[in-house]
Structure 1
Amino acid sequence: MTEREDATLAFLQEAGIRHEAGPLPGYATDGSFLTLGVPRMIAFPKDEAECVALVDHAVRVGIALVPRGTGSGTAGAAVAPPGSVLVDMERVGACDARGYRHGLFRPRVVDAQGKDVDLTKAGLDDALYVRIGAGRTSDETNRALAGHAWTVAVVPSSGYSTFGGNLATNARGSGTPAFGAFGDSVNRVRIVATSKEGARVLEVTDRDDVRRLAGHHGLCGLVTELDVRIAPIPRGGDVVCVILSIESEDVGRLGATIGGLMKRVSASCRYFAGEFLFIDEGIVRPDDPIRADPVLGGYFTVAAGHRRMVLLYRGTKEGLEGLPRIAADVPDVTLREITFPQFRKMMAVRTAATGKALHRVNVPGCEDFIVYDPARFGDVLSRMFAVMEGSSGRPVGHHYPDGIEVHYRPQAAVTRADIEAAWALNQKLREAVLRPELTVEDRKEHGLGLALFRDGPASRHEELRRLKAEYDPANVFSPHLLRPDTQEGFVGNSFRI
């Protein structure tokens, strides 16, 4: 290890901050399959005080810190080069006095002014926030809120991602059509930033400043606490879940038809979640119980040579009142109202299809791109399926008010050759669809990560540099992300089985 690393290891031992020293191949990548090499040190601070001590040390000795949540992101922002220190933030704000992380907790709820609120006395129209540690996740917070029939307003498909990570990537997900991206739902941020002399703790409450921090990818500091918007769970009689389906052998026709429908839905409906997936014979196992479901099972029977596209919407009856009329005007589209448990069953299939399920080995790379004009959706899908011919997997995605967000991750056997082939397929797909004439842009949801200088516009570079200068003048946090010469590698090139 280097002299700085030796000094940092001694500091962590003396300060009593939990840590591991390398080599640490298990932390060589995140959900992206990208790598900068094998890191040699990772710290696990339990609270803001330990974060301050760690940042003070980093400024003093000049060692880089790379924040990391659960490592589920697909942009490579939680990947550290050798010589820097990974900082795992999962414990921050989630530990008891002895440093033990607990999944069960009593949430603290505040209003927009930060005053404590008794959730049992709250009104359904109140704008409320949960004041929460950055290491907490939406899954465990929703469990804590469930007894009061409230939920986190914006929940990414990775419900196990940390709130600090959601802000760093400005994640989207369920709730985005109503509340915006994750940064739009945050009212306050505490962050351990730097000065030239050491650490400084900032409390950011200006909404514009909070939104500027959203998507910062760890460049600005260690986020320790946030006020995150929560929303009442609609009562059974007020909420409606709908499934729409269309089947054809012409994928371009499917995309054009559904794209036109989505455009009309965006203009006349309001909803909490809008999701789509392609269904083929391989999407679930032949013995999967969902095939025997009396309502949902029929959607998993597809004629030979055909593809089925399914749309799922969840919202209030008032917000989705116009949807049946829209669907009735679209040839070959069927609509059916389903229960919330049935909606969740279909969402479980959709989530697994993105690769966010432990029993799947899917390779990310061509995802999180947004089609701004739904009328071009058929052209985009035609290009995608032409490149994907003979490959496994299928596109899934979200319908947001500002466009259609698409994910595709080819499924690969756990061998170096298959993973490398899947990675190469992703690169071909990127070349095929990331085109201005298709109104397609990359990484709208999860930001830029290691692809910053490959995919990002100059205006985004300038914005991040201004944020960096404002919050991290000591240049401690993930400085490699702003270096044009940073060369990420594909972890599959050194894959071993």
Structure 2
Amino acid sequence: MSLTALTAGLAAWSTDPDELARVSVDRSGAVPDGVPDLVVFAKNVEDVRRTVAHAARHGVPVVPRGAGSGVAGGALAGAGSIVLDLSGLDRIVELLPDEAIAVVEPGVITADLDAAATAHGLRYAPDPASAAFSTIGGNIATNAGGLRCVKYGVTRDAVLAVDAVLGDGTLVRTGRRTIKGVTGYDLTGLLVGSEGTLGVIVGATVRLSPLPTSTATAAAFFATARDAVAAVTAVQRRGLRPSTAELLDQATLVAIDQARGTDLHTRGEVFLLVQTDGYGAEAEMAEVDRVVRPLATAFETTTDPEVADRLVATRRAALPAIERHGRVLIEDIAVPRSRLAESITEIGAIADRTGVRIFVFAHAGDGNLHPIVAADSAPPEQVDRAVAAIFEHALAVGGTLTGEHGVGVLKRPWLAAELGEPLLDLHRRVKAVFDPAGVLNPGKAVR
């Protein structure tokens, strides 16, 4: 590949070894096979098209990159590849309050879009834990979720249209600005969650939601995971729709206490954070109180924003507190909600059997579990057995390998077990249509 031919038309690029090493990895902790040959810092859509078209002609892998906040190895870039850094495409192009939509470039930080919407009485509903530093393009790549997803949905539910550069450099626009629309296939939905293997996202039109008029927050502790999940089930059976239902296990509570000097773990084995919002937030929380309190060892509610922020901060402190103990594998399975308590118990049993330390927190409202595996707590082969056992359990109970982090490189060995070969082959054929030269993020998501 001639780098001279490519870089002659680009405003910003680098072959500096330190820069290449930085952009070759993400938060997964996985190590690529060498470093890329080049990083292109895209300043406009034409930079993206030029880079992808050049790569397709020469059969060179292109790895799209935003903030590098992924945890499944989706942005790993090895020897002989080009990293296409999209963080410089960071404009909020339009924000239309009357339409409740925004048009953004992929490098916009998630929290920045939310803040811009707030100024108009709106918000961007998806709120991944990485919102302060992850990008909209990265969120689209993995179909990211977050604390509010139980009521407001995940990224796919917020994306109305995308601009994408296909594997030959062609720019396409899918979807529309209207809420309704069924002309043609839902290619927008297909691109969301495709991890940069079908197209490079260079723009998106997203839905915004009204800021809730009020919010009520509850913090509950339980003697067992079964009691906590029973409380969530009781809330849902009652026809209530909390915006947040987040669960932390005892190991996670201990880690938070060690990090913050608190005593949460003394109040119960499991912590549950519940929020209701909208005009009926307080009335809805009163019903939550009625069904949850009898099952809890401790229970409190508040409508005070400062107190609520402290309670929510407990949930958001989980991963940073765990990461203080060393390198972690941030896993991400989803199971049927009826199997959630069983899954939490089984993950504890896996930890006992393998000698691997595992922390668990969960989006309890939709069955999405995050087993956080302490990678240095046992020999590598035991860690591998623990991770495999977690995935095998998820599939055995009718769940999935990933709810919101994506497959990346770390979960590819289990793809066939979930999809089956006929469906996996169909995935490969779809990729060949969008990326005929096979240069877009090869080796990720679908082999």
Name which of 219, 233, 242 aligns with 1:243: 219
Alpha carbons 1:271, 1:313 under 8 Å: kept = yes
Does residue 1:478 correspond to 2:441, yes or no?
yes
Q: Deviation of residue 84 (structure 1)?
A: 1.1
1:228-249 per-residue CA deviation (whole Å, 9 max, x = no partner) reads 12112112xx321222222x3x
**Code of the aligned partner of 1:239:** T
Cα gap change, 1:28 to 1:357, in 2 (>3 Å): farther
Does residue 1:224 correspond to 2:202, yes or no?
yes
Q: Which residue of 2 aligns with 1:415?
A: none
Does residue 1:449 correspond to 2:408, yes or no?
yes
Name which of 376, 395, 400 aligns with 2:360: 395
Cα gap change, 1:28 to 1:470, in 2 (>3 Å): same
Q: Deviation of residue 283 (structure 1)?
A: 2.4
Identity %: 21
Q: Which residue of 2 aligns with 1:108?
A: 94
1:444-497 per-residue CA deviation (whole Å, 9 max, x = no partner) reads 22222212342341365245324323322232202223775xxxxxxxxxxxxx
What TM-score do the two structures reach when normalised by structure 2?
A: 0.84
Alpha carbons 1:45, 1:91 under 8 Å: kept = yes
Give the Cα–Cα distance (whole angstroms) in 2 for the partners of residues 398 and 262 of structure 1.
11
Q: Which residue of 1 aligns with 2:113?
A: 141
Give the Cα–Cα distance (whole angstroms) in 2 for the partners of residues 171 and 284 of structure 1.
24
Q: Which residue of 2 aligns with 1:348?
A: 313
Alpha carbons 1:150, 1:230 under 8 Å: kept = yes
Name which of 364, 377, 380 aligns with 2:329: 364
Where 2:348 maps in the other structure, the secondary structure is helix
Q: Which residue of 1 aligns with 2:386?
A: 428
Give the Cα–Cα distance (whole angstroms) in 1 for the partners of residues 83 and 381 of structure 2.
25
Give the Cα–Cα distance (whole angstroms) in 2 for the partners of residues 84 and 146 of structure 1.
39
Alpha carbons 1:434, 1:440 under 8 Å: kept = no
Alpha carbons 2:26, 2:71 under 8 Å: kept = yes
Give the Cα–Cα distance (whole angstroms) in 2 for the partners of residues 9 and 419 of structure 1.
47
Name which of 266, 281, 299 aligns with 1:334: 299
Give the Cα–Cα distance (whole angstroms) in 2 for the partners of residues 311 and 422 of structure 1.
34
Name which of 51, 59, 64 aligns with 1:62: 59
Give the Cα–Cα distance (whole angstroms) in 2 for the partners of residues 449 and 301 of structure 1.
34
For residues 25-44 of structure 1, the aligned pairs below 5 Å read: 25-40=21-36, 41-44=38-41
**Code of the aligned partner of 1:461:** L
Name which of 146, 149, 155 aligns with 1:182: 155
Give the Cα–Cα distance (whole angstroms) in 2 for the partners of residues 315 and 362 of structure 1.
36
Give the Cα–Cα distance (whole angstroms) in 2 for the partners of residues 364 and 8 of structure 1.
36
Q: Which residue of 1 aligns with 2:13?
A: 18
Alpha carbons 2:109, 2:134 under 8 Å: kept = yes
Q: Which residue of 2 aligns with 1:255?
A: 225
Alpha carbons 2:90, 2:104 under 8 Å: kept = yes
**Code of the aligned partner of 1:19:** S
Name which of 277, 287, 291 aligns with 1:315: 277
For residues 365-380 of structure 1, the aligned pairs below 5 Å read: 365=330, 367-374=331-338, 376-380=339-343
1:47-76 per-residue CA deviation (whole Å, 9 max, x = no partner) reads 112111112211222211011121111111
Give the Cα–Cα distance (whole angstroms) in 1 for the partners of residues 445 and 349 of structure 2.
35
Gaps of 5+ in 1: 95-105, 110-116, 249-253, 292-298, 413-417, 485-497
Alpha carbons 1:271, 1:316 under 8 Å: kept = no
Q: Deviation of residue 203 (structure 1)?
A: 0.4
Q: Which residue of 2 aligns with 1:128?
A: 100
Cα gap change, 1:287 to 1:14, in 2 (>3 Å): closer
Cα gap change, 1:388 to 1:338, in 2 (>3 Å): farther
Alpha carbons 1:93, 1:225 under 8 Å: kept = no
**Equivalenced residues, count:** 424
1:6-51 per-residue CA deviation (whole Å, 9 max, x = no partner) reads x125522553332334373334431212233122322211111211
1:260-295 per-residue CA deviation (whole Å, 9 max, x = no partner) reads 222232341113222111356632356837x4xxxx
Name which of 382, 388, 408 aligns with 2:345: 382
Give the Cα–Cα distance (whole angstroms) in 1 for the partners of residues 377 and 65 of structure 2.
24
Q: Deviation of residue 338 (structure 1)?
A: 4.9
**Code of the aligned partner of 2:121:** A
Give the Cα–Cα distance (whole angstroms) in 2 for the partners of residues 429 and 342 of structure 1.
37
1:153-200 per-residue CA deviation (whole Å, 9 max, x = no partner) reads 1111110211111111011113322332201210010011134xxx21
Cα gap change, 1:335 to 1:346, in 2 (>3 Å): closer
Where 1:479 maps in the other structure, the secondary structure is coil
Where 1:131 maps in the other structure, the secondary structure is strand
Give the Cα–Cα distance (whole angstroms) in 2 for the partners of residues 158 and 263 of structure 1.
27
Name which of 55, 63, 83 aligns with 1:86: 83
What TM-score do the two structures reach when normalised by structure 1?
A: 0.76
Could you say what the CA RMSD is over the residues aligned between the two structures, in angstroms? 3.0
Name which of 3, 16, 36 aligns with 1:8: 3
Name which of 424, 427, 431 aligns with 1:464: 427
Q: Which residue of 2 aligns with 1:270?
A: 241
Gaps of 5+ in 2: none
1:372-391 per-residue CA deviation (whole Å, 9 max, x = no partner) reads 133x3332222222333576
Where 1:227 maps in the other structure, the secondary structure is strand
**Code of the aligned partner of 1:352:** A
